[in-house]
């Protein structure tokens, strides 16, 4: 059975948590918080896209140095599809 000191300490912790939640509710605007969150998502998405493009460019320059061949992504995007279509026409 808990003693008086433990019960008082538990109730004080609960009161402190309630006061903290009350303070957050009174001082924060949910619309502002949501706007900040959307801004953060957009910023991280944009930085991720920029980092991806930069790494692809860097690797496209390193690939010939490392392998002696042209990088696979330098092939024209439609050329593989055009070859497949031409093969189907001939068959």
- Residue 16 domain boundaries: 4-90
Three-state SS annotation for 35-66: HHHHHHHHHHHHHHHHHHHHHHHHHHHHHHHH
pLDDT of residue 59: 92
Q: How long a stretch of residues is the chain?
A: 91
Please tell me the pTM assigned to this model: 0.51
pLDDT digits (tens, 9 = 90+) for 31-87: 999 999 999 999 999 999 999 999 999 999 999 999 998 888 655 555 666 667 777
Whole-angstrom distance, CA of residue 73 vs CA of residue 64: 12
pLDDT of residue 70: 87
* d(C-alpha 55, C-alpha 59), whole Å: 6
Query: H/E element holding 20?
Result: helix 4-27
**Alpha-carbon distances, residue 54 vs 48, 73, 77, 88 (angstroms):** 10, 14, 19, 37
Q: How does pLDDT run across 8-29, given as a tens digit for each residue?
A: 999 999 999 999 999 988 888 9
Domain count across the chain:
1
Q: Residue 87: what pLDDT? A: 72
């Amino acid at each position: 059975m808990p003693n008086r000191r433990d019960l008082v300490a538990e109730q004080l912790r609960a009161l402190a948590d309630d006061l903290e939640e009350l303070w957050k509710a009174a001082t924060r605007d949910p619309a502002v918080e949501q706007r900040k969150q959307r801004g953060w998502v957009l910023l991280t998405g944009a930085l991720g896209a920029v980092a991806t493009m930069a790494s692809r460019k860097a690797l496209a320059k390193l690939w010939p140095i490392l392998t002696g061949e042209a990088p696979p992504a330098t092939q024209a995007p439609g050329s593989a599809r055009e070859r497949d279509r031409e093969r189907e026409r001939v068959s």
